[in-house]
Amino acid sequence: MSKWYGEFQVLRDIDLQVASGERLVICGPSGSGKSTMIRCINRLERHQEGSIIVNGVELADDLRAIDEVRADAGMVFQHFNLFPHLTVLENCILAPMHVKRMPREQATDLAMQYLARVRIPDQASKFPAQLSGGQQQRVAIARSLCMQPRIMLFDEPTSALDPEMVKEVLDTMTSLAEDGMTMLCVTHEMGFARSVADRVVFMDGGRILESADPGSFFDRPQHERTRAFLERILH
């Protein structure tokens, strides 16, 4: 798959297969196209060449296919993107009620279940701005889970957090991984990559340069660019 912004090619011949239940960490320097790539997977960005197939559904201009893929793929953003005018609970039940036409009581039960899972059920009636960054990101994860997706996409979920709050979000993601969720995480948290990922993908200049299990990725990086990158971020 390839993608251009006007004349500029952001993604070059991306070829990636992710198995069901696989945990993938995508890393690379900024501007390498990693966020753009996972944003293509639920069609927040449109690709121009090649094909993207999610659970057997090919993403093209067909709106129904896009809706189907979005229902299957939850997304967590760097800046949480919670709806500030709604309470935590309302954030969580919005999509189930309006996209899945779930009755309010059932959506509320489901939301409380997932809020308990990210360990903030007691904040359900607060507004996002009343919570800390880490709490907001956990609400964002719960909000995605309420749509009961089969794939979770994480776009630098801890980059906008205070250092102290990174752990609570990573713990939530780890517990999600342990339950067998298919996950694609763009992140610079190498500790998380080493302990949770099945595979680490390194991108640079819109290409996938290296793709390996964490053991060989961190200990025996093949590509020189990867080595330089790891040296810089692992100190």
Partner 1 sequence: MTTISISPDVPARSAPIDRRDSAMHRLFGTVVSSVATVVALGLGLYALSRFADWSLINAVWPGEPGAMCRRATGACWAFLGEKLNQILFGIYPPAQQWRPALVCAFILFMVVLSLSPRQWRLRTVVLWLVGMAGSLALMQGGWFGLERVPTASWGGLPVTLLLAVCALGIGMPLGVLLALARRGSLPVARFIATCVIELIRGLPLISLLFMASIVLPIMLPAGMTIDSLLRAGIALTIFSAAYLAEVIRGGLQSLPAGQLEASRALGLSWWQMTRLVVLPQAMRKVIAPLTNTAIVMIKNTSLVLIVGLFDLLSSGRAALTDPAWPTPYVETYFFIAGIYFCICFGLSRYSMWLERRFKKGELR
Q: Interface residues with partner 1 (CB under 8 A)?
A: 42-44, 67, 70-71, 73-75, 77, 79, 81-85, 87, 94-95, 98-99, 127, 129-130, 140, 143-144, 147
Decide whether 78 or 113 has the Cβ nearer to partner 1.
78
Q: How far is the CB of 9 from partner 1 (least distance, A)?
A: 22
Nearer to partner 1, 49 or 67 (CB): 67
55 vs 216 by CB, closer to partner 1:
55
Rounded to whole angstroms, how far apart are CA atoms 11 and 34? 9
> In this complex, which beta carbon is closest to partner 1, that of residue 104 or of residue 223?
104
The answer to whether 122 touches 138, Cβ cutoff 8 Å, is no
- Which runs of consecutive H residues, i.e. helices, occur in 17-121? 34-41, 63-72, 88-98, 104-117
Task: Give the integer Cα–Cα distance in Å for 233 and 188.
Answer: 8
* Minimum distance, C-beta of residue 212 to partner 1, in the bound complex (Å): 29
Tell me how far, at minimum, the Cβ of 191 lies from partner 1, in Å.
27
Query: What's the closest the beta carbon of residue 84 comes to partner 1, in angstroms?
Result: 5
Nearest to 91 by CA among 44, 127, 42, 132: 127
Rounded least distance, CB 86 to partner 1, Å: 8
Nearer to partner 1, 26 or 95 (CB): 95
What is the DSSP annotation of 178-218? HTT-EEEEE---HHHHHHH-SEEEEEETTEEEEEE-HHHHH
